[in-house]
Amino acid sequence: MALSRWGTESEARDLGEGVRGLLRDVLGVTAESGLRFDPAAVTASPSRLTDSDLAELAGVVGRGDVSTDDAQRLPRARGKSTPDLLSWRLRPDVVCPDAVVAPRDDDEVAALLDWCGIEGVAIVPFGGGTSVVGGLTPDAGGHRAVLSLDLAHFDSLESIDPESGEAVLGAGLTGPRAEELLAEHGFSLGHFPQSFPYATIGGYAMTRSSGQASAGYGRFDEMVRGLTVVTPVGVVEAGRAPASAAGPDLRQWLLGSEGAFGVCTRVRLRVHPAPDTVRHEAFRFPDFSTGAAALRAVEQQGTGPTVIRLSDETETAVNLATATESIGTESIGTESVGEQADGAGGEPGGCLCLTLFEGTAEHTRSRNAETRDVLLAHGGTPLGAGPAEAWEHGRFGAPVLRDALLDNGALVETLETATDWSNLSALRDAVAQALTTSLEASGTPALVMCHISHVYPTGASLYFTVVAGQRGEDPVEQWMAAKRAASEAIVGAGGTITHHHAVGVDHRSYLEAEIGEVGVRMLRAVKHAVDPHGVCNPGTLIP
């Protein structure tokens, strides 16, 4: 990944003339008005480690790697939120981890944690570097230095149990590599978050990732049958049985712990036979609340889609869901779902709903039929397979689109929350209003789009995409103000501060509102018990 982008340099493409015209006319921004990234201006903070430290570290990690090269430290200094990406342009003096250390096994991780405790050096685990919540921030937490602990060597399919449908995967495996290794055995994980091309198994576990097919295969935390976390006081192997009544569920206390309790080195996961059939079907609903009620009925009746999503009117109108693949070749929105629906005899506009079904032929047929019946009974109009196929084809493209929009002077970011069905509309309104008000106050119109990305029997997640114009000297602070407004709206309207992006630095100050003073006390007690010197990712999670 490029420093100031989500994707690689070769993935970067410019926007078509139509979108550039819209950005100019509506948001008043152009490629010239935006912040530019100057690689030559970048400087890394000097490493605070001594030669003696480095010699000791080399001994501690044995066969592993230790580096203080800027080329290693810089990409591990920041994640991939919009503030991160803009900071490469605005703040080229980069606070970096003092070294990058890549141990090769649990014993080396344990030895490294021992050394850190004795020496007063913090660690920040590094997987794919895709955090959008500041989870990589190299905060030494009062210690004299901080290491980036790269899990790259934990990159194997350690074992597979085809009968139980379980595989043990190294924490450093990326999504594509994990799928590749599983495919050799006829299996798939079925976890496809937008960060899939880069994010790692350990990152999914430690941040409670949720994927686009989570309606069918479950959130990542639901797929985890066991995991290994190396803490400063010893190794935890959690998850002995598929289900247990042997006290609190240790797995669910380690999942989402974001490196604050130790380093996740491997995860035992449920895997599925690669599906032999995939069916796609799209629908249009006249408005968001009608569509939301239909998704609710589908999920509460358990009709079984693998993917189900609903874009609101604005997101449907700009055709965001299906248009990311056309960046640079066509302008976004010129082939809108509304127009497609027109061709099929329906009304333009409305809200696009995408469904996808995976499994055996019989399974997908019955699930598709039952789901379609419910959606039609709740006011949906069928649009055929096309829009759902287009979405699937381009589904990892949105962050690359963000890169292009940022390059063209736009301010673009996403945020997400979840709540009960009965509170969904109020939460959506509150967040959209907060974002719009804050951004308008900074002097730009704001396009706030929303979709239901994940459904549960009792509620759903809301995924917001915001496009505005960069304004002022400091667009990072411009966005942070909007983000604060949105976060306060989420807390006030009863949503969770994060449905699948995790806590990191960015949401930490909202955690107590979510879990209460006693909840925070419980977290701190565990942190202190397993990380008595406070060396494990001190900047993240725990208030």
Q: Which is nearer to a second copy, 208 or 378 (CB)?
A: 208
* Residue 379 within binding range of a second copy, rule CB under 8 A: no
* Residue 159 within binding range of a second copy, rule CB under 8 A: no
* Residue 287 within binding range of a second copy, rule CB under 8 A: no
> Cβ distance 123 to 263 under 8 Å?
yes
> Cβ distance 177 to 157 under 8 Å?
no
Distance in Å, CB of 495 to a second copy, minimum: 6
- What CA–CA distance (Å, rounded) separates 202 from 266? 7
Map residues 483-502 to x or -, x wherever contact with a second copy holds by CB under 8 A.
-----------xxxxxxxxx
CB hemisphere CA count around 328 (13 angstroms): 11
Distance in Å, CB of 368 to a second copy, minimum: 11
Distance in Å, CB of 358 to a second copy, minimum: 10
Q: Which of 45, 67, 87, 300 binds a second copy (CB under 8 A)?
A: 300
Distance in Å, CB of 188 to a second copy, minimum: 13
Which residues from 354-373 bind a second copy, rule CB under 8 A?
359-360, 362-363, 366, 370, 373
Q: Which is nearer to a second copy, 272 or 484 (CB)?
A: 272
395: which residues sit within 8 A by CB, 6+ positions away?
192, 194, 212, 324
Residue among 406, 495, 524, 535 at smallest CA distance from 90: 406
Which residues from 401-430 bind a second copy, rule CB under 8 A?
417-423
- What CA–CA distance (Å, rounded) separates 473 from 463? 28
* Residue 71 within binding range of a second copy, rule CB under 8 A: no
Can you spell out the DSSP letters for 12-68?
--PPPHHHHHHIIIII---TTTS----GGG-EEPPP---HHHHHHHHHHTTTSEEE-
Distance in Å, CB of 471 to a second copy, minimum: 30
Which residues from 256-275 bind a second copy, rule CB under 8 A?
256-258, 270, 272-273
- Binding range to a second copy, per CB under 8 A, among 102-110, 156-164, 314-322, 396-404: 156-164
- What CA–CA distance (Å, rounded) separates 36 from 63? 40
Q: Which residues, listed in sequence order, are joined to residue 384 by a DSSP beta bridge?
A: 282
From residue 397, alpha-carbon distances to 247, 268, 275, 393, 484 in Å are: 43, 29, 23, 9, 27
- Sheet of 263-270: strands edge to edge? 157-161, 166-170, 263-270, 224-231, 234-238
CA 360 to the chain's CA centroid: 29
Q: Which of 139, 150, 166, 313 binds a second copy (CB under 8 A)?
A: 166
Q: Which of 113, 503, 505, 536 binds a second copy (CB under 8 A)?
A: 503
Distance in Å, CB of 501 to a second copy, minimum: 6
Q: Which of 78, 89, 225, 372 binds a second copy (CB under 8 A)?
A: 225
Distance in Å, CB of 302 to a second copy, minimum: 7
323: which residues sit within 8 A by CB, 6+ positions away?
330, 332, 333, 335, 394
* Residue 142 within binding range of a second copy, rule CB under 8 A: no
**Count of CB atoms within 10 A of residue 377's CB?**
10
Q: Which is nearer to a second copy, 248 or 345 (CB)?
A: 248
Distance in Å, CB of 155 to a second copy, minimum: 23
* Residue 93 within binding range of a second copy, rule CB under 8 A: no
- Binding range to a second copy, per CB under 8 A, among 68-76, 194-202, 345-353, 520-528: 520-528
* Residue 279 within binding range of a second copy, rule CB under 8 A: no
* Residue 376 within binding range of a second copy, rule CB under 8 A: no
Distance in Å, CB of 447 to a second copy, minimum: 25
* Residue 18 within binding range of a second copy, rule CB under 8 A: no
Pairing of strands 99-102, 145-150: parallel
Distance in Å, CB of 227 to a second copy, minimum: 12
Q: Which is nearer to a second copy, 175 or 469 (CB)?
A: 175
Q: Which of 174, 207, 324, 371 binds a second copy (CB under 8 A)?
A: 207
Q: Which is nearer to a second copy, 370 or 389 (CB)?
A: 370
- Sheet of 277-285: strands edge to edge? 381-384, 277-285, 351-359, 307-311, 446-456, 459-469, 410-420
DSSP state of 139: -
- Binding range to a second copy, per CB under 8 A, among 18-26, 46-54, 325-333, 453-461: 453-461
Helices 288-301 and 424-441: angle between axes, nearest 10 degrees: 140
- What CA–CA distance (Å, rounded) separates 220 from 510? 23
Distance in Å, CB of 516 to a second copy, minimum: 6
Residue among 6, 1, 3, 2 at smallest CA distance from 405: 6
Which residues from 240-259 bind a second copy, rule CB under 8 A?
240-258
Pairing of strands 263-270, 224-231: antiparallel
Distance in Å, CB of 515 to a second copy, minimum: 5
